[in-house]
Amino acid sequence: MALKDINLNLSRGDFIGLIGHTGSGKSTLVQHLNGLIKPTSGKIIVDGIDITSKDTDLRKIRQKVGLVFQYPEHQLFEETVYKDIAFGPKNLELGEEEIETRVKKAMELVGLDYNSLKDRSPFELSGGQKKKSCYSWSISNETRSFSTR
């Protein structure tokens, strides 16, 4: 068993770093937060909703909780940075104008220059820029992001 006797309360605005040895269960813990994996016992409550209950619509939870992959190459896949960051808002069926506003805002927030980077391939970015693009995903979706690393 990777995790046992975990009690964790996170409040809005908290900025948490989780530190532990490789294989100690950090990624496993984070994957519980949007229902990617389920605990064998116990409960996980997000915004007052018990996500371990059978009746919970996990799509709603996943719009609240964003996960950023350990390796950006596992997450980025579109031809351009713009299309990549627009992927989430597009799935939310927002209008083109709102999508553009969100992509711009998300890129600005993480410190990626919109005009010079939006048409580049995400795979041509530097390691840090790739990682920032992944964070932009969660911001453009307006989720509260969690990183797996």
Ligand X SMILES: Nc1ncnc2c1ncn2[C@@H]1O[C@H](COP(=O)(O)OP(=O)(O)OP(=O)(O)O)[C@@H](O)[C@H]1O
Q: Given the rule CB under 6 A, which residues bind ligand X? A: 2, 20, 22-28
Q: What's the gap between Cα 28 and its chain centre? A: 15
Contact at 8 Å (CB) between 131 and 125? Answer: no
Burial of 30 (0-12, 13-18, 19+ CB in 10 A): buried
Q: Which does 121 bind (CB under 5 to 8 A by kind): ligand X, Mg ion, none?
A: none
Contact at 8 Å (CB) between 102 and 89? Answer: yes
Place of tokens 């005009």: 115
Considering the complex, state which of residue 4 and residue 12 has its C-beta at the smaller distance from ligand X. 4
**Tokens representing residue 11 in the block:** 């409040």
Tell me the closest approach of the beta carbon of residue 67 to ligand X, in angstroms: 12
Contact at 8 Å (CB) between 37 and 31? Answer: yes
State the residue number with the nearest CB to Mg ion: 27
73 by DSSP, 3-state: which?
Answer: helix
Q: Which range of residues in 19-27, 44-52, 84-92, 108-116 is near Mg ion by CB under 5 A? A: 19-27
Query: Is residue 147 part of the contact set for Mg ion (CB under 5 A)?
Result: no
Considering the complex, state which of residue 68 and residue 86 has its C-beta at the smaller distance from ligand X. 68
Query: Is residue 141 part of the contact set for Mg ion (CB under 5 A)?
Result: no
Q: Which does 2 bind (CB under 5 to 8 A by kind): Mg ion, ligand X, none?
A: ligand X
**Tokens representing residue 88 in the block:** 């989430």
Q: Which does 24 bind (CB under 5 to 8 A by kind): ligand X, Mg ion, none?
A: ligand X
Query: Is residue 27 part of the contact set for Mg ion (CB under 5 A)?
Result: yes
